[in-house]
Amino acid sequence: MAIPVDEVIAAYGAAWLEADADRRLALLETCWSDAGHYLDPGADVQGRQGLADHIGQFHARMPGARIELTSGASTHHGRAHFCCRMVTPEGAVAAEGVDFGRLAQDGRLDEIVGFFGAPPSR
């Protein structure tokens, strides 16, 4: 049975907040497929462990900063999108973004493609 998408997205968001590597990997086991693919303007990461390591590198590079989900997920046909932001240790919003995802058969995320900032003007 597929995992409810709200639970999947909540676990994914919690993984980005988790500084402890073991707890972060445990969260990703509930929401990220074994071979999931993560892309954003600065990253191209394969697999659950790869994403766990990438999140850990974010915490190491930017101590005290956090990635927060700012919306629920809109879904259809095995796809999802939701919004997020990066917050500095002082509480300022450094960047806002949107993630587009693909869900695996079991309901876990199989791919995320993230974009930062608003689309360019015409």
Enclosing domain of residue 38: 5-114
Inside any domain, residue 120:
no
Q: For 35-64, what is the mean pLDDT?
A: 97
**Pairing relationship of beta strands 74-76 and 66-69 according to DSSP bridges:** unpaired
Task: Map residue 105 onto helix, strand or coil.
Answer: coil
Return d(Cα 119, Cα 122) in angstroms, integer: 9
Inside any domain, residue 122:
no
Inside any domain, residue 95:
yes
**pLDDT confidence bin for 118, thresholds 50/70/90:** confident
Inside any domain, residue 121:
no
Inside any domain, residue 86:
yes
Q: For 58-68, what is the mean pLDDT?
A: 96
pTM of the model: 0.94
Asked whether residue 89 carries a pLDDT value surpassing 70, the answer given is: yes
Q: For 29-44, what is the mean pLDDT?
A: 96
Inside any domain, residue 119:
no
CATH of residue 59's domain is: 3.10.450.50
